[in-house]
Amino acid sequence: MTDIAQAAEKAKVHDEKEADHHPYFRPKDAATLILVDRSGTIPKVLVGKRHDKVVFMPGKFVFPGGRVDKADYRVPCAAPMTAELEANLAKGSPKTPASRAKSLAIAAIREACEETGLCLGRRADHKAKLEGAWKPFADAGLLPDPSGLFLIARAITPPGRVKRFDTRFFTADASAITHRVEGVIHADAELVELVWVELGSKPLADLHPMTRNVLNELDTRLAAGPLRHDAPVPFFHFYGGRMQKDILS
């Protein structure tokens, strides 16, 4: 059995255990950010441990992420996303318009800041430009910067779940972190612990099966050299009770 087939089988078993067979819910747009530290021999990624009492994946190690907010497309930015990233986000059917693409990229940065305290941004050259910015960024004189993001994968939660997400998984280099908000991680927070872990290490074995699939894609890309926008972007979804992997086009 191939690695993909094994991953699909594990995901199926896991989802059968998770399934509550709820009525159909339309997936909500969501974004996840995988921060990568490539300063050492083996790349490290940032994961957080979720609180034991949260509804979605309690106690699991996850990457920061969450639902897109209606205001995400209106937030002022230090720079636009690259044309290549916008083109990748537009792939699939139906095509994703530019405003929605911006919302997805910005949501990834916002969620990372809210959940980990780590902010990807640039200093605003004028205070007036901070109007409408998120408070942690505005307090630091920063605007979010999506120009260093890369799209790694897209995945949709299977039908029959009480919560369904249409998630875009982004990655960025740790060098893009320009500000840290203190006190975000604590015993009563959504994430109770943050850890930089080497790819292939034990904490990553506890990831949700779908997240492991995405991480394998990132691992393959990192092994090939610098991240590129022209690499194939996989789309993980479920059809007939089984996980499918397509390439966005």
pLDDT in tens, 1-43: 434 334 434 444 444 444 445 556 788 999 999 999 999 999 9
Give the residues of the chain that fall short of pLDDT 50. 1-20
Who's near 242: CB < 8 A, 6+ residues apart?
8, 12
CATH 3.90.79.10 fits 3-237, yes or no: yes
Q: What is the pTM of this model?
A: 0.87
Q: Using alpha carbons only, how large is the chain's radius of gyration in Å? A: 18
